[in-house]
Structure 1
């Protein structure tokens, strides 16, 4: 579980770094991360579909989401969400 949690946190960190200086996450990325960690597979696939309506990508999106849901514990997801909140609340941002 530690490896899966580390992968999620690494991915979130990369998303935050893409904001280049203000440490904020654009609303679309914030919603993406929220649904990825907390939503259902169907909700997440529908969200991704807004940006890329390709059957192969959507199939892989569903597989990845199901893998995350079956691998990450609620505690891991809570840690990832807390990590995002701490970064956004940091006075250094």
Structure 2
């Protein structure tokens, strides 16, 4: 995947984070899930999603998206995405 793909992931993460008021339980869990999606193992990501949603369609979609992510993003794309996310996380708006 190109850097544009990584940017798309970042925009999605930003929408999830900035989409509403986060409480102390939601934001860390969301951050963990996004980090696992980008650079975690397939199994760890699916277990994280299962904590919050056991719907078979959601789990199947999560499985498909994670597989696509793992196949298409290069290690540099993943590092770029994580670096940008760290900047977002450290923002006073987050």
In the other structure, the counterpart of 1:73 is 74
Gaps of 5+ in 2: none
Shift of 1:32: 0.6
Gaps of 5+ in 1: none
Shift of 1:5: 1.2
Say what the alpha-carbon RMSD is for the aligned residues: 2.0
The answer (yes or no) to whether the contact 1:5–1:76 under 8 Å persists in 2 is yes
Runs of 4+ in 1 over 4 A off after TM superposition: none
The answer (yes or no) to whether the contact 2:6–2:78 under 8 Å persists in 1 is yes
Shift of 1:3: 3.1
Structure 2 distance, partners of 1:40, 1:8, is 17
The higher relative CO (CA closer than 8 Å, separation ≥ 6) is in 2
TM normalised by structure 1 equals: 0.81
Given the superposition, is the C-alpha separation of residues 13 and 79 from structure 1 closer, same or farther in structure 2, using an over 3 Å criterion? same
Query: Mapping of 1:72-91 within 5 angstroms?
Result: 72-90=73-91
The answer (yes or no) to whether the contact 1:19–1:26 under 8 Å persists in 2 is no
